[in-house]
Amino acid sequence: MAPLSGASSHSPYSDGNFATVVAVCDYTATLDGCISCRKGDHGQLLDVNSRGWWYVRIGMVEGWVPGDYWEVVKHSQPRVSGHRASPISHSTFRGPRYFTFETEPWYHGRLSRHEAESRLLRYARSRDFLVRQSTHRVGDFVLSVLFCDKIHHFTIETTADGRFFIGKHYFKEMVSIVCYYQHNTLFFSEDKDPISLGQPLIIPCRDF
């Protein structure tokens, strides 16, 4: 995947006022201009762009990493910049890093497909659901639903203008997706019955 053309690669910071950041999970670089990292790596945040990618220095290596995979340890004031050649991907996160729905009971944060299925199969009733952050598509989310002992997964893409896209519909808020599909058909059963969302998956506190 080629970087943005015509963009310079100089650092916008000349005073050394960088944020210290730490990787919260592993990332294997697959795009030009990106670098790989491992959970626990520390680095300096040199730049950010409007698509949610961070330009980080790890030791003597610099490159772009997905901001969702990092947290700020020591805060400074990196700015949104178009100076660097940044990676482009249809699944690249293009909105703010933090979301208003993170405290909703149906949002389970960053989960793999296997982890989501394990939770639903252990605790859920038919039509119970959760929303999780995708571990394969940076910035996208997944709606996972249990029905008749089978897990159904639906990708929720984050669009360039900050909306969410699922199926054939666009939504401004993640909460709107949940409300809509609790009252409308999400998919059809093998018997052609329309299936909507039931209740959010709630895990007993003792099992956390």
- Give the least confident one: 134-148, 149-163, 169-183, 193-207: 193-207
Task: Pick the last residue of a domain from 33, 56, 89.
Answer: 89
pLDDT at 200 over 50: yes
Strand-pair category, 141-147 with 150-158: antiparallel
Say yes or no: 74 and 118 in one domain. Answer: no
Q: In this predicted structure, which of 19-28, 58-67, 87-96 has the lowest mean pLDDT?
A: 87-96
Regarding whether 118 and 52 lie in a shared domain, the answer is no
User: Which structure tokens are listed for 66?
Assistant: 């997905």
Do 182 and 109 sit in the same domain of this protein? Answer: yes
Question: Which residues does residue 43 pair with via DSSP β-bridges, in sequence order?
Answer: 21
Range of the domain at 20: 1-89
Q: Is the distance from CB of 139 to CB of 155 less than 8 angstroms?
A: no
| Domain presence at residue 79 | yes
Structure confidence at residue 26 (pLDDT): 83
The phi-psi region of residue 8 (left if phi > 0; otherwise alpha if psi is between -120 and 50; otherwise beta) is beta
Report helix, strand and coil shares of the chain as percent, to nearest 5.
15, 35, 50
Q: Are residues 144 and 105 in the same domain?
A: yes
pLDDT at residue 86 tops 60? no
**pLDDT top residue among 152 and 207:** 152
Give the pTM.
0.56
Of the candidates 44, 40, 77, the one whose C-alpha atom is nearest the C-alpha of residue 59 is 44
Residue where one domain finishes, among candidates 39, 66, 89: 89
In this prediction, residue 84 carries a pLDDT of 54
* Domain end position, chosen among 61, 89, 117: 89
**pLDDT 10s digits, 24-42:** 888 888 777 889 999 899 9
Does 95 fall in a domain? no
pLDDT (0 to 100) of residue 153: 97
Indicate whether 181 pLDDT > 80.
yes
Q: In the chain, how many domains are there? A: 2
Say if residue 13's pLDDT is above 70. no
- Residue 94 in any domain: the answer is no
Q: What is the DSSP letter of 35?
A: -
Mean pLDDT of 63-83: 66
Beta-bridged to residue 195, according to DSSP, are: 187
Shared domain check, 117 and 72:
no
Q: Classify the C-alpha dihedral 127-130-131-137 as positive or negative.
A: negative
Angle of CA points 51, 57, 58, to nearest 5°: 120
- What is the chain's Cα-based Rg? 19
